[in-house]
Structure 1
Amino acid sequence: MASLNRDTFVFVILLASAGVSLATRDFAATRLSAAGGGRKYIRDDVVISKKSKPSSGDDDEPILLPKPTSFGYLDVNKDKGSQMFYMYYEAQEAPAGSERVPIVLWLQGGPGCSSFFGMFYINGPYFVNDDLTLRENLGAWNRLYGTLFIEQPIGVGFSKKGSAAIPDNELDVAWDLYRALQAFYKANPSFQDRPLVVTGESYAGKYVPSIAHFILQASARANGFEHKLKHPRPLKEDVEPPVFTLGGLAIGNGFTDAESQTAVQAEVAWSMGLIDGAQRRVAEAIQAEVIELVRSKQWRAARNRSDELLHFIAGASGSATLEDVRRNTGYDSRNMGDAFLNQPHVRAFLGDVPRVEDYLWESCSPEVDRIMGHDVMKSVKNLVIDLLDYKPVLIYLGQWDAECGVASNDAWVSTLAWKGHGGFAEAPRDFWIVNGRIAGYWKKYGTLEQLVLRNTGHMVPHDNPLVGQLMLERWVETSVRGLPYNREKQTTQQDEEDAANPDQAEHST
């Protein structure tokens, strides 16, 4: 009877896991997105019957568990017991002599969302099926590169805060992540010559520049050129020199500079047909209040009013999500990653993590979101100025994102006071051709590149996995490694269809 009761308890937890996690996020902050966007609007009365692609395991057996190369905990602060949980996947097709093949770090946004969400929904080796088995992602980012998914900040997912406080600002978030990265590379000394490429989307438009700049400044201090940085931050004296190198950084549909991005919110919604002229004037009045609150450094009030602005636009337009205005439901509206990781056999595989009975994994942490709430509207764009002096930077943008999309990111990129400002403004924008069709518009000057991707929204690699993979590989090979790349000329429309996510058609108009 005890066994039956326990099994029943676990079954109820599995059935409820997606709904519970979403309800918890909504209770903590209706803006918190399972996708890391920080602002998600879900129309709950839409019911979708999603057909899964077959699992693609050996001999067509269902894939029940992921197969990471390594996983576990990385120490952040041993004295306080804080650790970050990670999964690492080695490159699937690394060429011979691949000791310098880059490692791609993926960071989710929020604030407070786990990179494991991206691992199972955006660009990892697997997607989750309806029956909570896995299928291979043919557009995975670890085709040519190692990929590293770390649950950060502490307090997110399986990561442990111990007796440490959850950080409430970007510098402390970066300091914790830096220590975890040091631990990862020290545990894998053969990786130390493999450059780290930092990537992420949405609120990771702040995480990515912050950790990349931290690595750059720590290296600059160790090598005697910290004084050359235009925007150094007060790093602690005991920051060790990095045992790895920074290769570059890529930001997808990022939220990086609140003031400039808020200033175009109403115009974007109006130009997409989401609101009319009268509603635009209401939205413009709200966004003016947000900007004044930012300038007055009333950070929490600014964040709250910003959320109200987005809620107004979503409500006025009846949009399921502003992250992709074509969609009839929000991204991962059924929280499949949560449900997968809340299965007992998955927890048993992961080892030293809490049992399902003791802890429900959530893709986004309301506690971290609350603690980081006052930091959301603070800009990190000046960090990008320093990074552009030393490393390649890619800004990639899905065309149908009405929240942190093309115009939103153009607004802050156009204000960057860097040596290539004028050149980038005048640089030509070229067609990027994949399968004989225009996949996007690529612009480059110096170390800065921007790619606008057609027929995609906030989560580009989910919306078109093959194009997302080709984008990453082209940029890393040509701009980070200085090598030729032309695989997009060899792929076919059938390749793109084979890699496609079935929910893109079923959840979109």
Structure 2
Amino acid sequence: MGALHLAVAVALVLALAGTAASQFMVESLPGFPGKLPFKLETGYIGVGETDEVQLFYYFIESERDPKRDPLMLWLTGGPGCSSFTGLAYEIGPLGFNYSAFDWNVVTLTLNPNSWTQVASIIFLDSPVGAGFSYSNTLQGWSSSDTLSAALTYNFLRKWLIGHPKFRSNPLYICGDSYSGIVVPNIVQEIADGNEMGKVPMMNLKGYVLGNPLSDYANMKSSIITYAHRVALISDELYESVKISCHGDYLHIDKNNTQCREDIRAINDCIGSLDIAHILEPGCSTPSLRRNTLNWDRRSLEEDPSDFLHSLVPEHWCRRYTYYLSYVWANDKLVQDALHVRQGTIKKWVRCNSSILYDEDVTSTIAYHRNLTKKSLRALIYSGDQDLSIPYVGTAEWIRTLGVPISEDWRPWFVEGQVAGYTMEYKSSTYNLVFATVKGAGHTAPEYKPKECFAMADRWFAYYSL
């Protein structure tokens, strides 16, 4: 290492020294009986010009071989959603015990399909305002897609300086939903940083995206295509809207009466569905009926405590189960156990819709296309019952990357049953696997945990799905 690189590394170590006390091992948690059977670390790392942004994280070591297994950085969508969503509802080792659920006492249980069985995972609350992350300054509360990516890269550099034993592990940047906008940007930042010789060098191997938002125009178009494909709108309406809107559903001319009428008719057909999973019952509250073609992604994660007064046990809705996270994470005993800095946030919410955030990236297709020139792997998966970001749109933009097909569309199996369908794309250096998860919604691991764990396990091990 040259003298300049050594000096930079020393400076980073010194910068971390002030935050070392913010990293804690957590051996037990309220609601879980006994000692946790895995290694959990929580903490804050300061990022930004003066470390004004304090990003909170949960780190869980691989339960198999932390010395050799992949290191994942996991971001939950939103923007503004806590990574605790991924930990407790999707791929982490803990979940809520719904069978012992009485709306007051919250207990935790182990997830037999946790991805921490094969990888170490940093669950990061990003951007600022998500989960327990906060800013020391008024200006620091403002963020954007590009700024969030830059700060996350800053976080990861500091985290690896503070955890040197993981620097050689294969590194994957991962996330779902709105993270499809930010993750490719972060991967580009890391790749560029490695090429510039920034320390620490990262053993970047690829990225994973689930049900990802990647391009706004593509998303709007794919909602209509998917709705027609699964018989939610008629052939006649589908043909009419394609002609009347000229294939552009993102910028609708207010003077185009027929296009607006067709869009209204489509919303009448699909507006009462649960867009996260079209086969599940909708929540029994009028406020949840929305204009599907103009939805806010964060509405998928709204606070269920706002409508618990209308809950009737026999009228089950998946969003009711999210209430447990609000009760648990706002408990002072829980926050003390997690070493949350008291007084830094007013209330923990799964998704903070009031963050000051500029969505300054409308498409990441160019990022993906540039990444195809790198020596990287990508796994992109979608639940096939997701109407919010349908798999048909994801498959469409993947085709535009121009990477040759190495394995055509085929089923993949778990325990002898079809778990979904997959295609593989491969060039001399780049490899991308696209997979659907049969029966899953937005996002897939929440609905089909066993199948998604099998998918991840095989892919990280370089096996075919």
Task: Give the TM-score band, short-chain normalised.
Answer: 0.7 to 0.9
| 1:407 equivalent in alignment to 2:387 | no
DSSP 3-state at the match of 1:337: helix
DSSP 3-state at the match of 1:142: helix
| Compared CA separation, residues 178 and 193, structure 1 to 2 (3 A) | same
Contact kept, 8 Å, 2:425 with 2:432, in 1: the verdict is yes
Unmatched tracts of structure 1, length 5 or more:
1-56, 223-239, 302-307, 479-483, 489-509
Counterpart amino acid of 1:463? Y
Contact kept, 8 Å, 1:257 with 1:381, in 2: the verdict is yes
More strand by share: 2
DSSP 3-state at the match of 1:291: coil
Partners of 1:342 and 1:247 in 2: how far apart? 37
Partners of 1:140 and 1:413 in 2: how far apart? 28
DSSP 3-state at the match of 2:135: coil
Q: How far off is 1:103 after superposition? A: 0.9
In the TM superposition, what are the counterparts of 1:52-451 in structure 2 within 5 Å? Answer: 62=33, 68-77=39-48, 79-94=50-65, 99-129=67-97, 130=101, 131-163=105-137, 164-222=139-197, 240-277=198-235, 280=238, 290-292=249-251, 315-317=268-270, 319-329=272-282, 331-335=318-322, 336-354=324-342, 359-368=346-355, 371-372=357-358, 374-375=359-360, 378-389=362-373, 390-416=375-401, 418=402, 420=403, 423-424=404-405, 427-446=407-426, 447-451=431-435
Q: How far off is 1:287 after superposition? A: 9.0
Partners of 2:84 and 2:263 in 1: how far apart? 26
Q: How far off is 1:314 after superposition? A: 5.8
Further displaced range: 434-443 or 66-75: 66-75
Partners of 1:289 and 1:428 in 2: how far apart? 29
DSSP 3-state at the match of 1:157: coil
DSSP 3-state at the match of 1:93: coil
| Compared CA separation, residues 339 and 104, structure 1 to 2 (3 A) | same
Partners of 1:314 and 1:156 in 2: how far apart? 31
Partners of 1:310 and 1:153 in 2: how far apart? 33
| Compared CA separation, residues 145 and 80, structure 1 to 2 (3 A) | closer
Match in the other structure for 2:299: none
Q: How far off is 1:148 after superposition? A: 1.0
- Listed one character per residue, the Cα deviations across residues 37-69 of structure 1 (whole Å, up to 9, x for unaligned) are xxxxxxxxxxxxxxxxxxxx99x9747989652
Partners of 1:331 and 1:197 in 2: how far apart? 30
Partners of 1:269 and 1:91 in 2: how far apart? 40
Q: How far off is 1:318 after superposition? A: 5.1
Q: How far off is 1:242 after superposition? A: 4.0
Counterpart amino acid of 1:185? L
Contact kept, 8 Å, 2:75 with 2:174, in 1: the verdict is yes
Q: How far off is 1:176 after superposition? A: 0.5
- Listed one character per residue, the Cα deviations across residues 104-137 of structure 1 (whole Å, up to 9, x for unaligned) are 1211111111111111111111111234111111
Contact kept, 8 Å, 1:218 with 1:242, in 2: the verdict is no
Q: How far off is 1:255 after superposition? A: 0.8
Q: How far off is 1:257 after superposition? A: 1.3
| Compared CA separation, residues 261 and 242, structure 1 to 2 (3 A) | farther
DSSP 3-state at the match of 1:263: helix
Give me the identity figure in percent.
26
Partners of 1:64 and 1:280 in 2: how far apart? 56
Partners of 1:138 and 1:431 in 2: how far apart? 24
- Listed one character per residue, the Cα deviations across residues 224-245 of structure 1 (whole Å, up to 9, x for unaligned) are xxxxxxxxxxxxxxxx444322
Partners of 1:87 and 1:221 in 2: how far apart? 29
Contact kept, 8 Å, 1:103 with 1:195, in 2: the verdict is yes
Partners of 1:77 and 1:291 in 2: how far apart? 34
Unmatched tracts of structure 2, length 5 or more:
1-27, 255-260, 283-316
Partners of 1:277 and 1:139 in 2: how far apart? 40
Tell me the TM-score normalized by structure 1: 0.68
- Listed one character per residue, the Cα deviations across residues 156-194 of structure 1 (whole Å, up to 9, x for unaligned) are 111112224345432211110011111211111111111
Partners of 1:167 and 1:256 in 2: how far apart? 22
Partners of 1:220 and 1:123 in 2: how far apart? 32
Counterpart amino acid of 2:251? E
Contact kept, 8 Å, 1:128 with 1:340, in 2: the verdict is no
Contact kept, 8 Å, 1:216 with 1:246, in 2: the verdict is yes
Partners of 1:61 and 1:334 in 2: how far apart? 18
Contact kept, 8 Å, 1:265 with 1:287, in 2: the verdict is no
- Listed one character per residue, the Cα deviations across residues 243-295 of structure 1 (whole Å, up to 9, x for unaligned) are 322121111111101222322321211222223356547865679564337xx
> Larger RCO: Structure 1 or Structure 2 (Cα < 8 Å, ≥ 6 residues apart)?
1
| Compared CA separation, residues 289 and 444, structure 1 to 2 (3 A) | closer
Q: How far off is 1:84 after superposition? A: 0.3
DSSP 3-state at the match of 2:62: coil
- How many residue pairs get aligned? The number is 383
Partners of 1:466 and 1:241 in 2: how far apart? 37
Q: How far off is 1:457 after superposition? A: 1.4
In the TM superposition, what are the counterparts of 1:459-478 in structure 2 within 5 Å? Answer: 459-478=443-462
Counterpart amino acid of 1:349? A
Q: How far off is 1:203 after superposition? A: 0.8
Tell me the TM-score normalized by structure 2: 0.74
Contact kept, 8 Å, 1:439 with 1:454, in 2: the verdict is yes
Contact kept, 8 Å, 2:146 with 2:182, in 1: the verdict is no
Partners of 1:191 and 1:388 in 2: how far apart? 26
| Compared CA separation, residues 309 and 201, structure 1 to 2 (3 A) | farther
| Compared CA separation, residues 287 and 105, structure 1 to 2 (3 A) | farther
Partners of 2:196 and 2:142 in 1: how far apart? 23
Contact kept, 8 Å, 2:421 with 2:435, in 1: the verdict is yes
Contact kept, 8 Å, 2:223 with 2:390, in 1: the verdict is no
DSSP 3-state at the match of 2:422: strand
